[in-house]
Structure 1
């Protein structure tokens, strides 16, 4: 099989972003290791890169939180990238001066509708400490994780998922008003059904593809165990049996009948917004939430690696991988296995860590930068 080609962020420029008044990081196509004390601003750099993907970035922060303080609320991220569509300059940010305009996105200086347009040039996969409790956390956390996996393979998914959230909020508001016109509810329930089934179908397709790839590439000797994954949801179960059009019609009818129940509950009690991602430790056939902390970490790393392979297989270009403080929590053999797997994928990796020794296994395969005082300086 032909190895995937390399996508890379070759230069990153920040303006009034988080802890950086200005930053110009010229890294070429090499992987990047950011080293510095806790609180130095390493994760801020990864977050800036993550904004070059659909969605709200790896911290899901509001626009105002991204601006350097004190300031006028403006911030900007720009990156030179190489990938499937050649070389391009991607930019995003918010204007200051009290402007109420939202985040703006540009490609080679031309405005585009959203960060979804960046997916033609760049795909991103990331793993952060916030995900360490994923398997023991809420279903909502796992849905957000799953939707990010889906969006990396299908950039339109982010817009569908956001549209579903808006439609559900509209339905809930209408249900609160007992005088609301039933025709308005009919219209919004039609939208909820259409988007809900589309979101569920996209999730099911990605989970099916990822499950197949994991089974195909499982290595019993790997320190990252293969995961068994499945979806738990009413719409997903219906889609496994019936065409999407039939599932959508039935769901819309159920929403209509459930108005009294949902009005009493103050929310919509059935739909893709309540689905869950089920994960099991494959070799042990054990639910992930019952595994040890170390096993969960290894399982999560393996799942993210498999997802990166899937993205690369789908379009022939390896995604850029963001790893925040991951190496520090792995023993040397697992770090070496992780770096080797990413190198085999031809992926550019952006990593953070407090101790340079955590990157010893990567050798000369990455450029090292020391992060401190709002700057990132190359280390030979």
Structure 2
């Protein structure tokens, strides 16, 4: 799988941009603030329908423009598909596949698969649990697109349940029978949707764990062992991936927490409160890993994701956004050797020297809003 062409209209800093790609390595080189990351961010957006730099779509639209359009020609098994996303902040986004509208943009998730590493990924190790949950959920959806609907269903149920709990807490009195009956209904919905999401995360964590260990060892052969485990808001209970059993466990958990939830006005049990715990040796990585170790663990997570997606049959597009400048010579060389065999690698760098010799290939100069083949 690789991207053959990228076309932008009013995306970030670009009124328009057209870039041709080939399999192999493509580097975008230029001073900071010139738009290199905007290009690879657009490729990542086509795959994930979200940005690694922004939590909403509004910053993606060029100032003064009503919308942004991203088009990507994707080649897979010698077949070419044109994906088009229209980004409409405050309104529903639109999608086209081969110039034909699709009912919902999420229906084309999986047409392009990418793994993107950027400086922001340090938050995977040093940030709050939400960053790691997002990592799992985005990879889960990329690998199995139906989880886009599972995540949407769970978020809808959680929002409705939280609204009911907040309303009950605001009245500062014991909830009536009607409120409790309604809460019972939302408990069932949360348990059902939550069990599906939780099972997917558990299966994904099991698959990623050995891949993370191998990737970290390859990057930092003398840096100890990296590990990961899934920590549920249900506490220290044994979890299987049986959906019915998980739903029963979630129902029991919310029942135990009901009094506290009614007092605080928020849902305290469910996948939204879970944690992916990263470890280095016998210690948790968060708070104990050095800056270099944190970089290597974050890179290891992305490389593990790449290997897992690759095991499904197709190389995802690998994107390395301003990565090599942060690495010492040893890690830089080892990372270059690990990613060189990928079908397509997109790199951004401030200067040509930041691109390792092992990753020589096509190069574009990016300056003053222009993208020029070097």
**Superposition RMSD in Å:** 2.5
Moved more, 55-64 or 135-144: 55-64
Give how far 1:94 is off: 3.1
Say yes or no: does 1:129 pair with 2:119.
yes
**Paired residue for 1:229?**
228
Instruction: Summarize the alignment of residues 7-86 of structure 1 with structure 2, pairs less than 5 Å apart.
Output: 7-71=1-65, 73-84=66-77, 86=79
Give how far 1:310 is off: 0.9
Q: Give the distance between the partners of 1:84 and 1:60, measured in 2 at CA.
A: 32
| The one of 341, 366, 371 aligned to 1:376 | 371
Q: Give the distance between the partners of 2:241 and 2:45, measured in 1 at CA.
A: 37
**Paired residue for 2:355?**
359
CA contact (8 A) 1:84 1:121 kept: no
Say yes or no: does 1:207 pair with 2:205.
yes
- Superimposed CA distance per residue, residues 245-300 of structure 1 (whole angstroms, 9 cap, x where no aligned partner): 1331342244345433212212111111111111122xx44322212101111122
TM, length-normalised to structure 1: 0.87
**Paired residue for 1:190?**
188
- Aligned CA distance change for structure 1 residues 347 and 363 (closer, same or farther; 3 Å): closer
**Paired residue for 2:259?**
260
- Superimposed CA distance per residue, residues 111-133 of structure 1 (whole angstroms, 9 cap, x where no aligned partner): 22444433443211111111213
Give how far 1:85 is off: 8.1
Q: Give the distance between the partners of 2:23 and 2:268, measured in 1 at CA.
A: 48
CA contact (8 A) 2:216 2:297 kept: no
Moved more, 221-230 or 131-140: 221-230
- Aligned CA distance change for structure 1 residues 86 and 193 (closer, same or farther; 3 Å): same
- Aligned CA distance change for structure 1 residues 47 and 218 (closer, same or farther; 3 Å): closer
Q: Give the distance between the partners of 1:312 and 1:87, measured in 2 at CA.
A: 19
Give how far 1:363 is off: 4.6
- Superimposed CA distance per residue, residues 354-376 of structure 1 (whole angstroms, 9 cap, x where no aligned partner): 11110142353x31111122221
**Paired residue for 1:3?**
none
**Paired residue for 1:88?**
81
CA contact (8 A) 1:200 1:236 kept: no
Say yes or no: does 1:342 pair with 2:339.
yes
- Superimposed CA distance per residue, residues 84-136 of structure 1 (whole angstroms, 9 cap, x where no aligned partner): 5821001101369xxx6411111111222444433443211111111213322
Q: Give the distance between the partners of 1:273 and 1:376, measured in 2 at CA.
A: 41
Q: Give the distance between the partners of 1:336 and 1:266, measured in 2 at CA.
A: 51
| The one of 293, 299, 302 aligned to 1:301 | 299
- Superimposed CA distance per residue, residues 1-54 of structure 1 (whole angstroms, 9 cap, x where no aligned partner): xxxxxx111110000111000000012223221111111111111211111123
- Aligned CA distance change for structure 1 residues 129 and 213 (closer, same or farther; 3 Å): closer
TM, length-normalised to structure 2: 0.88
Q: Which runs of 5+ in 1 are unaligned?
A: 1-6
CA contact (8 A) 1:54 1:114 kept: no
CA contact (8 A) 1:125 1:320 kept: yes
Q: Give the distance between the partners of 1:137 and 1:212, measured in 2 at CA.
A: 23
Q: Which runs of 5+ in 2 are unaligned?
A: 169-175
Q: Give the distance between the partners of 1:55 and 1:9, measured in 2 at CA.
A: 16
Aligned residues, how many?
363
| The one of 135, 151, 156 aligned to 2:141 | 151
